Structure 1
Amino acid sequence: YLLDGSCMVEESGTLESQLEATKRKHQEIRAMRSQLKKIEDLGAAMEEALILDNKYTEHSTVGLAQQWDQLDQLGMRMQHNLEQQIQARNTTGVTEEALKEFSMMFKHFDKEKSGRLNHQEFKSCLRSLGYDLPMVEEGEPDPEFESILDTVDPNRDGNVSLQEYMAFMISRETENVKSSEEIESAFRALSAENKPFVTKEELYQNLTKGTGGLLHLSHE
């Protein structure tokens, strides 16, 4: 159970239901700490009795404690990430569907369920999401991808965490939402009486006005 990081994964339902499910699972993990304490006490007793080889298990008390710590930290990171997604949905205009797609794509490329992607996995993930990153030979400079890494992995530790990835994707999607809103706002400003279309005359009038009469369009 401790070795299976997928026990923390909950992909169905709304972000709120995923958050509640993750909190419940995290509480289950923390409740198991008392059982781990019993194992540690038994391990200490065996060491005192100079029983150094336990043929009934391949796990050590130290290894299990490390796995529990990692799973506990994973639970906290997942809760924080879901809270971050909920806040982004409520304040930035990024849709819940987009957030789910980002999260599911990350998990698809996180084969080891470590909560991190190496740079190659991250690049493949971005391409799957529609990023048009150039194909470069190994060892060749990749300025476009390096620019992205400057944001998500500025210290170049070689990994991109789920939190760093989601923050980057939310930031990019927020820019797209703002651009869409600006286009819609400009369209409404051009269209008289909030009509769902712009006439040729309205477009001509606003373009020539905006360029001080220097722009000459053909009235055809």
Structure 2
Amino acid sequence: MVGTVEVRRAADRGVLPGVPGVDSRHSFSFGAHLEPGNTHHGVLLAHHEDRIAPGAGYDDHPHRDTEIVTWVLAGTLVHDDDGGRHALVRPGSVQRLSAGRGVVHRERNAGGDELHLVQSWLLPDEAGVEPVHEVVDVAAALDDGGWVPVAGAPGRSVGVGLGIADAVLHVARPPAGRELALPAAPWLHVLVARGEVALEGADLGPGDTVRLVGSPTTSLSARTDAEVLVWEMHSDLMGAQR
């Protein structure tokens, strides 16, 4: 596998229309945003950043055999589903919904201010399992500015679980001047959620992403106080591994 580093700017993401009060920016081909040559990275098959007005959101809709991880940057998300599960998700907390054999849920802005979140979808290792929903507060673990594994298989996360052995979501809030080595993995997906960082000679701002494949371990440097999300992945959707 040849090592590659691909920078994708926030302005180049697809905009998904049709939901009142929701500004949804997608990294991959999704729904009405068709981009056949850009369908996934590693095992990550959907990745979007949403800004949702007070009272707006997504009404009842189904999922099946999908791992959905949500990270809230600002505001309050309310989750309700047909299994009677209810939760409020705020900054510093991570939510996991493993849809398994089927879930109908709705997600809305429960507060009076704009809700800002990042959501990732991945395929689970096993289909047809019992649905799982959990929310874990990891805010205290973020205080030192280093990487925190907020979602992953048992034993690999201090936050929520994940029905995928080959993927871990890391979050860091590095202060200005802090340098962080990226996790070692054949597939990495980096999102700058807040602030400005430098990575592989590129200056990155909010909403910018970097996709790394087969690259040697590298590091990023925070130009300002920042918040960064990194998916570490050891296989891809075609079953390739390194």
Using structure 2 for the length normalisation, give the TM-score. Answer: 0.25
Which structure features the higher share of strand residues?
2
Structure with higher Rg: it is 1
Which structure features the higher share of helix residues?
1
Structure with the larger RCO, 1 or 2 (CA within 8 Å, 6+ apart): 2
Using structure 1 for the length normalisation, give the TM-score. Answer: 0.27
